[in-house]
Every structure is written in structure tokens, then in C-alpha cells.
Structure 1
Amino acid sequence: MKRQRRQRAAKARFELKDYQSANTLISLVISIDRKRVKWSTGEKVNPNNWSKKTNRAIVRARDTQTQALNERLNRYAAAAVTLFNDWELNTPAGLANYNAAKFKQELEYRLGFAERPEDKTEKLDTSDFVRFAEDVRNHRKDSTGIKRGTWKVLNNHVNLLREFADLRHGGTVAFKEVDEIFIEGFKKFLFRTKGHNRRTVHKVMVTLRSIASRAADRDLMTYGRRFRSWAKQDFRKMPQPALTRAELDRVIALDLSDAPRLERVRDLFLIGVATAQRWSDYSILTPKNFRQLPGGGYRYFIQSQQKTSKEAGGPVMDWVVPTLEKYGYIGGREFNPPKISGQRFNDYLKEVVKQALPDAKITVYNDREKVDHKGTEFLKWEKITSHAARRTAVGLLRSMKAPDDQIQKMTGHTTLSELDGYDVRDAETLALELGRDLNDAWNKGKLRAV
């Protein structure tokens, strides 16, 4: 039978660096894993005044300095033994993560020889769930890993959580109270009080799950499959206003020479369609965003989109070139962009579309707490906004059989699912396009009658 090695208690002792010197350094020595660890105390002593028997300086009558030295040595030795025991360095588990340099560094921290670095872990308010969420939001604002647009969404969702807590819970929500009943009440608040649709509530629930997951990482609450099922909201993609190719042609052909304010809004919208960008990007384009190609034509390029900081770029289609030349984006004219505020732009755009498409209609579905399967029909101009330019662009590009990977480079979308969300061509348009393709294939002999 193998005899187990006896584990001895930790013991710290001192030794002098040079017994021949008149004033030499004192080092603390402790045995860890059968190896000597030596740490310089910074203290000095005359070897003639050192006792090898007591392992301390010899205190003579009224020698208060030597007595104070021994008291400091006692403190060093006690700190080393305490650290040895705290780290359980007489066990295999404790030795698994041990090294001598870390031991000496921690000893200096404990004795005050060195200032311990500040803990870089996020210091979040853990007094209740809502304050924790607000602190997460505040910390994320200064993070290099979050985009400005993403943080704005997070900020909006946390503000909704704060409003609900103040209205229904007296401003304080303990972590243990964040259960199925709380989440169901929060959903009803979002649907009934704020009037949000199911897609928006879904996004708020995603944020709620993210915050709860961070809290669970800090052992503040339980987060698991049950919680994820509570904080879930089903939604469906709803039709959003966009223009078909025929409708866009009518907007382009609209004579607005007698209404300069509407003409500038129409032209800016066309630039948005041609570049497949958001309002925040196509409203601030300059000549620097356009380059002439060696073989003729132009390309546009955006180094960093306002919302996502992603690159975007692609060819400039011929139909928008006259508009770009008119305002000096290309062609050398003085740059005079059609600037306007977002709100006024949307108001004026409705006037433009009303003139071009007075009878065009769109069905809008109420997708809130109760799903509306019938929908309500509206005139399209009533629902048109600046973002319709981006949706119109994606639909047109796909109708023209542009490859999805090239469309993504133009729009800046990272994933195909994101791009799909902007393809809002209606069933009639898709049927017409499919019929056209099938007829072309038939006429070219690619399809044969059965």
C-alpha cells in the first residue's frame, strides 16, 4: 500500500542575502509544492544583529527600531501563511492554477506594497431588475462593440421597462418578481397602453431576455428555458409600403416644375431608391460618395452607414444620372443638395405620391395583441414614408434578377434574412414576374408541353 505523503503546515522564515555585508536585505522564504519561493521584504539589517535561532533581528535595550522591524517581519510572515492557506496550496486543486510570480504579486497587494489594479468588471447596480437594466444600457452606450442605432433601440426598450415599472410596480422590481406574471403584464402594457405591434413587442422581449441573461450570469436570478418561453412573442412580417416598377416610373415622370419643394423631395426619394439606402444615409450623400468608372458610368460608395457602420456601394443606374447631375452629386455642377427635415420630407413625399398615384392602394393589417387577418385598405400615399425607398430598391433589384450577394453589397445587409425583410413585393407583382419568366422560358424552348 502506497504511503501518503504528510502535508505539513505552511511556515514562512527569513534569510539574509549577504552575511558578509554590513547592511543586507532580508528575504521571506516559504516552501510551496516542495519548492522554495523567495520574496524580498525590502528590509535591511546588519548580520551581526541577526539571530539564526529566532530568525529575527536581535532586540537590545531600548532599541525600538529593531523591535518595529521584527513586528513588520511577523506581519509579512503571517500574510504569506494566510495566502498559502487561502489558495489551498497544500492540495492538488490549489496547485493547479498556482505560479510563484502570482503568489508574490498577491502578497505585495495584501501587504500594501503595490496597488491592486481596479477590477475592470462592469460594476452594475444590482439593487433591482430595472436599475440593473438601466446600468447595462448606460455601460453599453460607451462600448466599442455596439452600433449607435443598436444602442438607440436598447435605450428605447429600457425606457419602456422603466415606464412600466413606475406605472405598475412603484418603480422597483425585485429580480425574483421577474416571472411569467410580470412579463405578461409588460406585454399588455406594450400592446394596450403604448399601442405597439407584435413585431415591436418581439424586439422588446429579445432585449428583456438579454438583460435577464446578464443578471443570471451574476447569480441575481434564474434564466432558462421556462423564462425564454415566457419572454417570447410571435409575430409575422407585415406588408410595408413600396413602389412597383410601374409606380416608380410614374413618380419619375411626374412634372413638378411648378412645385420646387415637391420636386426636390421627389428627387431625393429617387436617389434613395437608386442607392438602396436608409433616409439617414441617402439624405446626407455628397459628391464624395460618387466615383466615375473608367469604362463609363458611376458607382456610389458609403464607408460607414449611420445606423450600422457597415459599408455599402454599387453601380449608379442610368435612370437616376440626370437627377444626380441636377444637384451636383456628379458632373461638376455646384453641389446644391435637396436638404429637408425628415418629418417635412415624409409630409411632402405623401403629396408627391398622391399626385403620381392617386388611386394606388395598400392593405394594412393590425398585428397587435389580437391578430387582424382581414386587414384594412388604405390609399398608398397615406402610408408612404422615406423608408419606402429602400424597400422599393430591393424589390426592383430582385425583379431585375440581380444576385442577392450583390444586392447585399448595395444595401449593406449582412444576412439574407435581413434582405428578405425588405422584399415586400405583393402577390400580384410576384405572379406577374413569374408568369413573364415562365413565358420567356417557354418561348425559348426551355419548357416543353406535357
Structure 2
Amino acid sequence: MTQPPIPSPSATLLERVFSDLGMTDVAADIGYLPPHPVPLASRLATADLAWASVRAISLAAGIHELPDPDRISIAYRSDRVLAVDGIAPDVWSAYSGFWRSTDGWVRTHGNYPHHAHRLLTGLGLDLGASGDEVRAVILRCTNAEAVGLITAERGLAVPVLPEDPHLDARWRATPLLDVTHRDTDGSRSRRIPLERDSAPLSGIRVLDLTRVIAGPVCTRTLALLGADVLRVDPPDLPEPEWQHLDTGHGKRTTLLEARSERFHELLAAADVVVLGYRPSSLDRLGLSASALTERHPGLMIAQLSAWGMDEPDRAGFDSLVQAASGISLIESPDGDRPGALPAQALDHSAGYLLAAAVIALLKRRQREGGSWTVRTSLRRVAAELLGMPRADEPEPVREFDTSAHSTTFDVAGGKVTTARAALPGLAFTAPHRWGSDQPRW
């Protein structure tokens, strides 16, 4: 790493991140560019966003070696190298996608069975209806009508909208990582070595209350850095096996009711809680950040949502935020059909940035005490991306050997191939089968 730091979109983003986190000891390192751009070709600055996000967690963890841009690319597109017993899973439901309406396009998400059921019910279709039947119904509706029918049944759909620069500017006027500090007494500082070695989070207990990609990427990264991560899921909400195997590295995973006595015992012994459910759902369970820090002084809370705290009851996914924020139309392949980023980059970047925040705020808690909360959202990350420099056309896709950046594990008698860790010098340990561990530290 011999080049001098120079201004760049990724350096500007890193400056914002470390300013939000109150970190001043990494300023000399944020300007270093990758040896070549991260191979994530798009009109928007997806490559710069990915580089800055991985660099943020690397520097927060005391890793000054530059990451491998190719490995970052594969980590962001990990679902494309995932294989379970040699078979690549079908990662998208027939009910997830873009659908033409009478006045535009609608984006839906139906990967979970309960979301698919609600979507079909809203459209007046029977369970098991084909994608062609969904297409025919939406084609007879306006955007507002189709979205209204689906969301009335609590299904997931958004209109595909053009970007709104004024709205995005208002988003960017808020912190990318919104940190709050509460001056409380607590004993959780007892287990924080935070040494700058190969396992800087050794001894830290992380309770993982997240699903899908962004939250699990955050907690997978904390496990990679030595934390004891226990993922807890409700017993009545199954997770697609492939989805957990893609992001479950280094964690233990258990099924437990959030209102159970055992769950609250786990919570009382945790150092960090990562929240990824809708804010309104957490409120109903008594698991909001404010409720947790009230009951457990000294706790570190990291919270992410799709749309931000101003829309606490709105569920969402990366693909829906891309569509509603204008990204899908910017990335259109032909000026008509909506497109997408080359990876679910809002999810992955939110996960890495939140992991960086956890490390930074654990260090601040060690120095300053109290309870700390950090929040971000996919919509806030989207606004950041939309404010970065963009190109008229994507750069040509750079070819490289993707197999060099994947690894295979033995998992409960089977073979699971996944992407390698994006952080330099570190290697994942195998994921466990979802829900296969005991609810204990």
C-alpha cells in the first residue's frame, strides 16, 4: 500500500462514516483506492459503495491491508456462487419481480411463503397460481391499484418510481449511521478486550435478531472478527435453508420465542443486540432500542430497517427499495424495462457499515461508558448511492476466476459452497444448519 491517499467517491463516503462514528484515528487510510475497480458494473457508483463499505469495517477492526476487489465483488454476489450439495438454489420466487401495469411498473417480493400467500390473496388468485396469472392481473391495474391490492393484505409491492433528488438530499442531510448515546450505568464493559489482533471481538456476545441479508451480513462479519454470535429466530417463521447457509458463517442458530424466559436470560448476558425486524414489530415485543437500553444499561444496540424509523410498520427488501428510490429506472437496460444493481448492494453495504459501527461504538463505550445505539436503513444507503458520481453507461464487466473466491464446507453431512470473506486475512468458519443449536451462550 504505497499510493498516497487521494480524493475519491469512496473516500468521501468513508469520511462521512467515520465522522458519524466519532473515529479520528483512521483519517490517513481512507483515501487509498483499490488496485482496480470492484467488478460491479452499473451506472451508479456501486463499486465505490462496496469498496468503501468493506474498507470501513476493515479499518474499524484495525485491518489496514487493502481488500481484494474481486473478492468483494463475489461477497456482494454470494448467492450466485452458493451451492448446497453441488446444486445452486433457486433464490427468487416466481412472485418476486417487475410487472408491467397500465401506467408503469410494479416491483413485488414473494420469496417467503407468507409474503407469497398475501400477494396472491390481494390479487384474488389461488395459492399456487402461476407467474403468468400474476402478470395478467397486474397488467389490468394501474400502479396504485396493484400496489393497493397487495399491500391491503400485507403483501410486499411498490411502484417503480423515478428518483427524487430533493428527497434524497434530505435523506443525505441525516447521518448515514445515526448514533445515540445514553449516559447509563452498566457492567457490560467487563468483557471488552477489543485488542487489535486476529480476533478483536473475542469475548463479545452478540444476539442476532435479523433475517435475510443486511443484518446477517453484519453479524456474520462480527463472528468473523471473533464475536460469539447467537442468531435467534421465532419457531413459527421458517427461513429458507440456502439463505441462512449463505450468511450464517461462524454463528450458532437457535429457535426461541422472544417472550420466553430463556430469551430474556440470553438478552441479559449479551453485549450487543443487532435488530433487523420492523420497528413496529420490535415495539410490540418490547424489543425496541429504547426499551432494551432501559432494561439493560450498557447494552450496545445496532438496528437496521428497510425504510427508516419514520415508517416503522413498513416491511421491505433491497429490491423494493431499489425500485421505489429510482435506482431501478436509472439501471434500466433499454430505457423502458426497470433494471437492478449488479448485486443487492444496499443490503451488503448496510451490513458492513453497521458492523463497522458496532466495533467503533464498543470502543467508545469502553472509554465513555453508557448505552449506545446506531441505526441505518436500506433507504438511507440508497440515498447515499444516488448522491455519488455516476456514469452514462456501465463499464464493461471485468472477467476473473470466481472460483478462486469461494470455499466449500462440510455442514451436517453435506457440502456447502459459499463466497470467501471480503475482509483481508480472515477466513469464515462453516455455517450451522438453521435452528440447530441450543439457546445458550
Provide TM-score, normalisation by structure 2.
0.21
Q: Over alpha carbons, which structure has the higher Rg?
A: 1
Provide TM-score, normalisation by structure 1.
0.21
Greater helix fraction, Structure 1 or Structure 2: 1
Structure with larger RCO (C-alpha < 8 A, sep 6+):
2
